[in-house]
Structure 1
């Protein structure tokens, strides 16, 4: 069985803005070589950064990871089996990456911010892609990105195209700017774009209010309060310093809290703007014995287990409303916090993280993004010992493992799956691998119900793509939707790219076809952006399994009728290809004010090849 190599460009997109951090190298220097089976090399790229920043001292001539994000993503993709992995004593067990026998290479392209934002420069990103391709990697895991941009102006899109042209599969983060629509990044059709969802393990802490109401929260607080001891409860808005606003105080921003009002109490803070762990730090500085962190409305039911510096519980928006209601209508509100405990097989799971960036794809709406979702909330993986688990200067704790959340964490989960598929099917193209992952995904949670969004409503493909990844099923998808490099070049031609722009992607001159329809672009999902009366699209599938007869099943989007011809596909041999047409018709009385969604499934009794449908009236 061949051993493949993974390139990691592990950086992070923060909530609401892009923030890039460093790559791993200190895995070895801090004594973690057993966590990665083969760390075959690290490189750093800073010439683009230096051209902007000026002279760089020796601290910039290194690929070391000083803040942990790169270590975390690398070990998620390719970490070895490590018993006894835990975070501050919680979640103890054997950890491993998605492809534990892979050889991993790390390429550092991001540096400390200049003028608050400039950190990762296109020249450095493209240089890393070029070297990685030359190094012969098989998979690129890119937990890196920014605002969506036209492909010819996007270094990740350009670099990844050249990688895909060499047969390298590229996996990228969807971004952490959700839940707003149209925020998904890394939207090129040759990439696998990954959103973030939860898993069925939680780090739970329970809040008991004086009115006997009990609420379930999340936390990795190392410190605890005495069992069942109630403390006075106060809203941070009511604990503000006289010259501060209630809004800033409720967010528990630095310098807004009055210690005389907070001391000895459990403080209730609102999520948003400043960091979750820093809110607890401000509460601790003001003398609080504990903190309840309540979600804002956009964050919904997504709660995250952070390594808080005081006893703290992160609760949902609905539970937060219950807490504020109790505070507003109780003369002497009281509460206590339980100890944290690790819980397995929690339900429902998965559901979408509110921070995960959403479609539609604002660069090219006919390509549905994200493609897939994977675990990206409270993920345990290896961590640097150069900083504390909260990455704050005041945090003097050190731990070889940490939990982090983001599409940066879900991306390497899929990268690990890609590595396994590459080992099983070395002849599959990057598009075939993506198809296998997408068409075998599940849209159901562990209750057997549709996957929910953070608002407790059904998640749409603009949140979870084709669904939640199922690695074992992806190994035997039955049928695949394949695409070639020329298909991707034709896609660029359709967007009106000139010969000069196409040369950014193609190694040689390319002549655009006289006609090419995006409706027939062989993507595993189908998006119709301009349905006025009737539209027909064409797709082509290849048999990569045993001979069989596939029948169509359609869950039509509301207000739309969908027909497929032929409705039966019979495959007699491996590699056989067949074409079918899908016709969408607007129902006579339908009024579509936004996208509607459905599902098209080919099944032979063993394999179920699913394609999400997204339709909008023109």
Structure 2
């Protein structure tokens, strides 16, 4: 609703909205079950409300003065121990760095009894905190303390959508673990000797589902509660900015000086344009990998040992003869999907174990190994197959529960991370950055652990939020855009071997559309020297240049008085992206066959690569068309003094 159009008879927009619903009910008195029901009145995130309405009642409200837009509720997708060492956080940081900032996590809830939320040595709750510790099923207000200072749950939209009330928790209690994991990563206390069945041992430092209706309410509450940083490991599908509850709510948070981090979403890489949270005022986080591997070491009968990967949590090694009795299955799989199928069939066959020769070890992240097994690379798999073929009685064994640190070639961009450009705002290069997430996966159905190993952009996101909290405390005057810029312009583009960060989905050096500006370097971000700052006015100029209607812009900015006199796609952003028109056609007008080579004028600090580099024409008047435009990639070196990443 357009707040400027609220009739003077109403001093409160909540009363205005209630009157609108009452008017709809009078005009279209449906059955009792279809009576209009007001779910939430939003005070900060958007200027509007959510309600259950019949189509006739909605049509009536759409004709009222001040109406801007309405859209159906939609589902929202729920998109560590060694990571803070790999991120090279300065040893001078102590367990209480970041004190004074309030970090809010919108997720599946929290398990407050975990050691990550102990408040030993914590100062008093900040004076500007306006939140509460809401009572609920199996959750008392006494669960909060000086570390976990508040908790609220929002489920009215989920219930209105028809969810079984018995299956929807009316509580802040986390019943699936995702929220506890992300919250402890972003702002958890130190927990010594944390591990998941022996994997990833170290110091942990840091499906009911939900709907857009509840998500907006959660961000609305976070703004009013006084958050400094919000970690939002959720997303909706690829929708326009003016229909995206994450984008709309985050704009309001940005105006309040709140830094909002969100994942690139849904782990649907390596296909391009799969990134969801593409609003330019969001900090959009991709996934990166650590220098850590959870090993399942395969020991061949000829004495050779091959290090594979395995999340198997069983404690005993297996050794069996491959030619008789209970067997070990060696399975070569051509794709990610087929690896999962092979694992499930092997488990059903009740063999002693399985060795899966997989095209990428990253299959590990999404597989559940409920029986002994290990994944090995095609190169190591060839050695295993050679041994089997040459040995009359091949044998093998394996050892599990190993954590290997210092793996070369890290960080890298995993195949699953969603890629830019975002469909909602293609003029801004996304993602922004790739913090490392924890990696692996524990899949046993019968054993439990207080700590989990997980991966994905939703786990990278709270890493970024935690770093943002450190920067906010150190530089309280910095805007969300300044914090984003500091993290992006100081990011690393090289891995721990000094080589360009690789994209494991493409098998080559990672491009900005997969890794953004690179891998976050928290220490360097503390003193970036220069920042690309931006505020609400800059984003409004961008929206004005995106061919949005006045009503659509008002939905996002909550003001119909925004000035669109200076529209511009040239946002002051730490990276930029340029498009050439598709279906470009070149015609050879010279006699005979010719080859044309791209050539660029060298500029200090800038490297330009054009693809294709060579065009070959066999005859006069021959045409060649690029269906997606000729592609060029620019990289700016550190020495140039400019470090934005570019893809054109």
- The alignment's TM-score, normalised by the length of structure 1, stands at 0.72
Q: Using the alignment, how far apart are the partners of 1:31 and 1:345 within structure 2?
A: 27
Aligned length: 496
Q: Summarize the Cα distance change of 1:586–1:303 in structure 2 as closer, same or farther, 3 Å threshold.
A: closer
Q: Using the alignment, how far apart are the partners of 2:440 and 2:610 within structure 1?
A: 43
Residues 1:34 and 2:114 aligned together: no
SS of structure 2 residue aligned to 1:92: strand
Specify the alignment match of 2:214 in structure 1.
124
Residues 1:23 and 2:23 aligned together: no
Shift of 1:226: 4.5
Paired residues of 2:364 and 2:440 also in contact (CA < 8 A): no
Pick aligned residue for 2:568 from 513, 517, 540? 517
Residues 1:187 and 2:187 aligned together: no
Q: Using the alignment, how far apart are the partners of 2:397 and 2:608 within structure 1?
A: 56
Residues 1:6 and 2:115 aligned together: no
Residues 1:352 and 2:413 aligned together: yes
For residues 188-207 of structure 1, what are the alpha-carbon distances to aligned partners after superposition, in whole Å with 9 as ceiling and x for unaligned? 11111111111112222223
Shift of 1:595: 3.7
Paired residues of 1:267 and 1:283 also in contact (CA < 8 A): no
Paired residues of 2:433 and 2:518 also in contact (CA < 8 A): yes
For residues 460-515 of structure 1, what are the alpha-carbon distances to aligned partners after superposition, in whole Å with 9 as ceiling and x for unaligned? 11111100000000000010001110111111111112221112122322344334
SS of structure 2 residue aligned to 1:428: coil
Paired residues of 2:115 and 2:189 also in contact (CA < 8 A): no
Shift of 1:378: 1.4
Residues 1:398 and 2:454 aligned together: no
Q: Using the alignment, how far apart are the partners of 1:146 and 1:458 within structure 2?
A: 29
Q: Summarize the Cα distance change of 1:165–1:459 in structure 2 as closer, same or farther, 3 Å threshold.
A: same
Specify the alignment match of 2:467 in structure 1.
417
Specify the alignment match of 1:236 in structure 2.
none
| Consecutive unaligned residues in structure 1, runs of 5 or more | 11-21, 98-110, 113-118, 234-260, 381-388, 533-557, 568-581
Please show how residues 97-496 of structure 1 align to structure 2 within 5 Å: 97=206, 112=208, 119-175=209-265, 176-209=267-300, 214-223=305-314, 226=317, 229-232=319-322, 263-268=326-331, 270=333, 272-273=336-337, 280=343, 283-296=346-359, 299=360, 303-304=364-365, 308-320=369-381, 334-378=395-439, 389-390=442-443, 395-454=445-504, 455-496=506-547
Shift of 1:412: 0.7
Paired residues of 1:601 and 1:611 also in contact (CA < 8 A): no
For residues 432-454 of structure 1, what are the alpha-carbon distances to aligned partners after superposition, in whole Å with 9 as ceiling and x for unaligned? 10000000000101101111111
Which structure has the greater CA radius of gyration? 2
Residues 1:502 and 2:553 aligned together: yes
RMSD between aligned residues: 3.5
Q: Using the alignment, how far apart are the partners of 2:398 and 2:545 within structure 1?
A: 58
Which has the larger strand fraction? 1
Paired residues of 1:217 and 1:303 also in contact (CA < 8 A): no
Q: Using the alignment, how far apart are the partners of 2:348 and 2:630 within structure 1?
A: 48
Paired residues of 1:306 and 1:403 also in contact (CA < 8 A): no
Q: Using the alignment, how far apart are the partners of 1:231 and 1:378 within structure 2?
A: 32
SS of structure 2 residue aligned to 1:42: coil
Q: Using the alignment, how far apart are the partners of 1:336 and 1:587 within structure 2?
A: 48
- The alignment's TM-score, normalised by the length of structure 2, stands at 0.69
SS of structure 1 residue aligned to 2:556: coil
Paired residues of 1:204 and 1:219 also in contact (CA < 8 A): yes
| Consecutive unaligned residues in structure 2, runs of 5 or more | 1-97, 120-144, 583-597, 616-625
Q: Summarize the Cα distance change of 1:275–1:432 in structure 2 as closer, same or farther, 3 Å threshold.
A: farther
Q: Summarize the Cα distance change of 1:587–1:158 in structure 2 as closer, same or farther, 3 Å threshold.
A: closer
Shift of 1:362: 2.8
SS of structure 2 residue aligned to 1:341: strand
Specify the alignment match of 2:130 in structure 1.
none
Q: Summarize the Cα distance change of 1:457–1:329 in structure 2 as closer, same or farther, 3 Å threshold.
A: farther
